[in-house]
Amino acid sequence: MAKILITSGPTRQYLDPVRYISNASSGRMGAALAETALRLGHEVVIVTGPVPTTYPSAAQVVPVVTTDEMLAASQSWFARCDGAIGAAAPCDYMPRIVETEKIAKTGAPLTLQLIETPDVVATLGQAKRDDQWVVGFALETNDRRFRATVKLEKKHCDMIISNGPTAIDSDVNDVELLDITGEVVARVKGTKQEVADVLIAEIDRRLIRKTIASGK
């Protein structure tokens, strides 16, 4: 059996003490993956942004708010895990300057300078040991498969799951699973639980058992 880190939900990047940039990620895909992995006897740690979703009680849940916090918690837990699934949608831009007081409206436009946050999955992918694996998600509105293969390589993933924006805050999903060579090895459409069952079965067969078999 394996110990699996799952990142889940959105993160938030505050502009001031009240306003932030985020997305509608609900944590449901992460919860469904955890549910299946636990059922198969794996151990699960979930590093999650703020979500309304309830995670399985058998999972260890580590709550975070910002992308930096998600990265730090994920790095720390990944060292003690066999693999990681990046189901979160971390906010990938943050304001260059965070105001300490609420920005007051003046009637004039406001120019916001955003910089990229660190990439959680890419950082784990780069740091992974030979006996560890990393599975990413790519959420794209256009050129989905092409962009997924680019992310697969750039983030050093062993597999990547390509899905679209309708997956966000939804009960259902429609995904393609690409193996390490970029080949589409599975297509799944259904509830997030049905999708999770197929994804965990593929991860189990292609990554977990392989690692165990090779004695790494």
Q: Which positions are annotated as active-site residues? A: 23
Q: Considering only CA atoms, which of 104, 103, 136, 102 is closest in space to residue 119? A: 136
Please identify, using beta-carbon distances, which residue of 140 and 194 lies nearer to a copy of itself: 140
Options 57, 96, 181, 213; binder of a copy of itself; rule CB under 8 A: 96
Which residues in 48-57 are b (16+ Cβ under 10 Å) and which e?
A: bbebeeebbe
CA dihedral 122, 124, 128, 134 (to 10 degrees): -80
**Residue 106: CB minimum distance to a copy of itself, A:** 8
Q: Is 19 in the site for a copy of itself (CB under 8 A)?
A: yes
Contact string 171-200 vs a copy of itself (x = CB under 8 A): ------------------------------
Find the binding residues for a copy of itself in span 115-154 (CB under 8 A): 115-116, 139-142, 147
Find the binding residues for a copy of itself in span 45-74 (CB under 8 A): 50, 52
Distance of CA 58 to the CA centre of its chain: 20
Number of residues counted as binding a copy of itself (CB under 8 A):
39
